[in-house]
Amino acid sequence: MKKSIVCTLVAVVFLFVGLAPRASGTCTNPNSILHATYGWEGHALAAAGNTKAPKIGDFGPFVQVGHITFDGNGNFSGAHDTMAGAGLLPHVDSGTYSVNSDCTTGTVSFATGVGFTMSIVVTDGGQEIKYVGANTGNINSGTLRLMAASCSASILSGNSYGYATNGLIGAGGSNSFPRVGGFVPFAHGGQISFGADGSISGVDNASFGGVLMPGQPIAGTYSVNSDCTGTTTMTIAGVDSSWHFVILQDAGQIIFVASPTGYVWAGTLTKF
């Protein structure tokens, strides 16, 4: 009887030791947690000028897709494309980052461009980074996901992906930077396949302004760069819907941003 009680107490002690929260520890070198390349997808709204207490109609929408390489020592480099409807804007990025002693939270500060700052949370053991923008006048949030270090031209060959995304297109094809009220909302869902010959095919189901357009054909070509970025030249139902894209780890997902003028559209493809 006593032996049974002792064994039970020992088991309970080990159980609670095993369930001790890991987050209570601290990092010896917090910045070393981030030492890899990540694909970046962000969705944002920017207030016009110095508008005080802006309402939704005062904001202009934009999306960001690119990649960031953290060196494990507080510095980063990378590149991204911004789309606000008036054409794709490429950026070359550099700056610093700092992970706090909780091993989870921190900041990423861009020395280039407008000096964008991310307030970050490192999740899933460093597989993903969630962020919210820390700049006044912008509403910006998104996710960074691990990328492969390099890619062959054939990495997407034979792969098929599903997607469900939403975006905006400028009413009347304006080349300016329209506010939210100058756009028509849409959603796309479907599948896309990458051929060994560099071709693209698929079927898209679209809803433009609430009008459903099912079974739209996707056709075109694609190319992949050694840094795991790439481009498509493609149409959906005969309309230019080309992308710039970033291939994530093991090609399980692809982040894209639409490149034609008028679109504010970015999303993620997930492999079948």
Tens digit of each residue's pLDDT (9 = 90 or more) over 182-230: 788 999 999 999 999 999 999 999 998 889 999 999 999 999 999 999 9
User: What pLDDT, on a 0 to 100 scale, did the predictor assign at position 180?
Assistant: 58
* pTM listed for this prediction: 0.85
Contact (Cβ atoms closer than 8 angstroms) between residue 141 and residue 157: no
Q: Is the pLDDT of residue 25 over 90?
A: no
Q: How far is CA 31 from the centre of its chain?
A: 22
Q: What is the CB neighbour count within 10 angstroms for residue 210?
A: 9
Give φ, ψ of 164 to 5 degrees.
-145, 110
Q: pLDDT tens digits, residue range 30-79?
A: 999 999 999 999 999 988 766 667 777 788 899 999 999 999 999 999 99
Q: What is the CB neighbour count within 10 angstroms for residue 137?
A: 15
Q: Which residue has the higher pLDDT, 105 or 113?
A: 105
Q: What does the alpha-carbon distance between residue 29 and residue 70 come to, in Å, rounded to a whole number?
A: 14
User: What pLDDT, on a 0 to 100 scale, did the predictor assign at position 164?
Assistant: 97
Q: Is the pLDDT of residue 14 over 90?
A: no
Q: What does the alpha-carbon distance between residue 232 and residue 224 come to, in Å, rounded to a whole number?
A: 9
Q: Which of 7-16, 17-26, 253-262 has the highest mean pLDDT?
A: 253-262
User: What pLDDT, on a 0 to 100 scale, did the predictor assign at position 179?
Assistant: 54
Q: Is the pLDDT of residue 118 over 70?
A: yes
